[in-house]
Chain A
């Protein structure tokens, strides 16, 4: 809701108080000044961005409708196809691939709405990580403390938005890869229902759980980006044949009769106290006192891990056979291990997934929105292998997905809202709804934003 959010920028441009070209040139200057120390961008499209911005200005001058994101700078995780760019997906291997000939559907829809693409953003190789410590392209720093990770695998998008380089970025989320960087960088992140947003033109990872989605500095931007990207797409076999259900017009509705509860058990243990304090602040603001227990979340994580490793290895099997040492050491051994998982375990994991989905469906007959932490601790240091949480020393990187992984496992829609932590580092709280009920999430997120409980943390 600040003037610096995407819709605020679009309003200024539409009112002709500033040109799209000026906004784009300023954003490019900021990237030139800040990105060398943050390492968010793997490609900056200065020329085409200025050209696109001039086209928006020309539309306005001719009284043609430029779209809701008129002149808004944005950037995308480098697993999205961008016409004229090679889609790296964080890898060295893909750097040898030909350039994409067309934009991914999500990119095309945002550009069609007037947004101006500034470039491609860093990520964990092939999206297999939670920290964006990429050995080929370097780690992406957290704008709130450059010695700390930005989260991952959409770390470039999280950091670029949190550093004020762009007000809007696209990421992807298989086990938490939008929500974790959104939380660690202090911005809003949406993983819609599995199948809601087209993945066409985005490099896949774990096909059973892959989602794409936006990261923003305000709830209204998140809703507007989601609305623009919705709709069927024959190019993605997973994309649902559902009409657009616009959420931006609904964010002022308030929480009304929505039933909100706090997830306990798994989602209330093995984290730092400040994480649970953040959930309680959100619950208090919403008057949520009810607690519900989702069963068997550790088994859900186990099943998600098996499915992700198997599907990821299958996608990259040819390269794993022919050039294993060209993979990032941070992902290589995990991909190779995934290729050796017996098929019976994979199918067993898919059977458990159906069982778990049914249990969670039962809970959503009684509740509309669940609250859970996004991560068990704020951003770890770059290079940090282990972390002590609640008295136990645990591997830092996989633990970042403790609370996100069970939810994407069954494709639930989730918004991670940014909340203040105990120190200078931000935290996130997940708002979780039944499949296809994104509208409830936006209504709750907007209530929290208006109450000042959820607010993006933009690093100066």
Chain B
């Protein structure tokens, strides 16, 4: 429940994924979700997903302790 910034230990930095790995992830994951990526979109989707994964890496290397996610469900 705490949102104190002090972590026990920071996660280690994560290397950015290689473009070819992201393209392979797109090719293999999209069909599992029922998505057909049109050929003219493949490069743009790969580039944008690489950006999103890089954003995720930026977050992953930052410690947030035991902070819970912002949305709170009220039953």
Interface of A toward B, CB cutoff 8 Å: 208, 296, 298-299, 302-303, 305-306, 309, 320-321, 324-325, 332-334, 336-342, 345, 347-355, 357-359
Contact residues in A for B33 (Cβ distance below 8 Å): 321, 339-340
CB of B55 within 8 A of CB of A350, answer no
Top 9 closest pairs, chain A to chain B, by CB: A333-B44, A337-B48, A350-B69, A302-B55, A345-B56, A337-B49, A353-B70, A358-B3, A354-B70
Contact residues in B for A348 (Cβ distance below 8 Å): 56, 59-60
User: In the complex the two chains form, what is the Cα distance from A336 to B33 in whole Å?
Assistant: 11
Sample 20 A-B pairs with CB under 8 A, ordered by A number: A303-B59, A305-B52, A321-B35, A321-B36, A333-B44, A337-B46, A342-B56, A345-B55, A345-B56, A347-B69, A350-B71, A353-B69, A353-B70, A354-B3, A354-B68, A355-B5, A355-B65, A357-B70, A358-B3, A358-B5
CB of B52 within 8 A of CB of A338, answer yes
Within 8 A of A (CB), among B5-31: 5, 25-26, 29-30
CB of B49 within 8 A of CB of A340, answer yes
Contact residues in A for B38 (Cβ distance below 8 Å): 324-325
Question: How many Å from the CB of B56 to the closest CB on chain A?
Answer: 4
Within 8 A of A (CB), among B46-74: 46-49, 51-53, 55-56, 58-60, 62, 64-65, 67-71
CB of B47 within 8 A of CB of A333, answer yes
Interface of B toward A, CB cutoff 8 Å: 3, 5, 25-26, 29-30, 33-38, 41, 44-49, 51-53, 55-56, 58-60, 62, 64-65, 67-71
Asked, given contacts A306-B56, A340-B33, whether A332 binds B41 with beta carbons under 8 Å apart, the answer is yes
Contact residues in B for A296 (Cβ distance below 8 Å): 62
Contact residues in A for B5 (Cβ distance below 8 Å): 355, 358-359
User: In the complex the two chains form, what is the Cα distance from A2 to B18 in whole Å?
Assistant: 57
CB of B68 within 8 A of CB of A339, answer no
CB of B62 within 8 A of CB of A354, answer no
From A208, A305, A336, A355, give the contact of B55 (CB < 8 A). A305
Asked, given contacts A351-B67, A354-B69, whether A333 binds B55 with beta carbons under 8 Å apart, the answer is no
CB of A298 within 8 A of CB of B58, answer yes
Question: How many Å from the CB of A93 to the closest CB on chain B?
Answer: 15
From A309, A333, A340, A352, give the contact of B59 (CB < 8 A). A352
Contact residues in B for A303 (Cβ distance below 8 Å): 55, 59
Contact residues in B for A347 (Cβ distance below 8 Å): 69
